[in-house]
Amino acid sequence: MGTNYYLKIDECEHCGRYEKKHIGKRSAAGRYCFDCGVSMCVDGEEYVHSGTSHFNKKCYKCNKTIETNACSFTFDMDLEELKKMVKHPYASNCIIDEYGNAFNLWEFLEIVKECPIKFNDKIGSDFS
């Protein structure tokens, strides 16, 4: 389970209707050693969402027991493209998630920053 994020585009000043452009999806990504910057996914970071991979309980670099989980962000839009498309970066509702929560550009970038695993291989594929 994850959360999809959208850029609001072509918003009507009068009625408030708008189109959405998919930015990407934040997802749980399993155990992660934040000290070493590595996923505990046995098959490698690229397989954290495979559904068939297992996660080590100890970090293979520092040997600590890992109890913390990380999230990933899979991009459907390039971040630089997003920054160019946002007309008012401090507008509190230029980005929304699938649940209707609104964010300005800087708040959204903090959400992305919190995800140590990032995937760019789906840019332009319009997944959700």
Task: Output the CA torsion sign for 36, 33, 25, 52.
Answer: positive
Q: Does residue 21 contact residue 6 with C-beta atoms inside 8 Å?
A: yes
Tens digit of pLDDT for each residue in 8-49? 988 888 898 899 999 999 999 999 999 999 999 999 999 999
**pLDDT value for 43:** 95
- pLDDT for 93: 84
Residue 81 and residue 123 in contact, taking contact as beta carbons nearer than 8 Å: no
User: pLDDT tens-digit profile of 97-120?
Assistant: 999 999 999 999 999 999 999 999
23: how many CB neighbours lie within 10 A of its CB? 24
What are 66-80's pLDDT values in tens digits? 999 999 999 999 999
Q: Is the pTM of this model over 0.85?
A: yes
Round to whole Å and give the CA distance between 62 and 46: 21
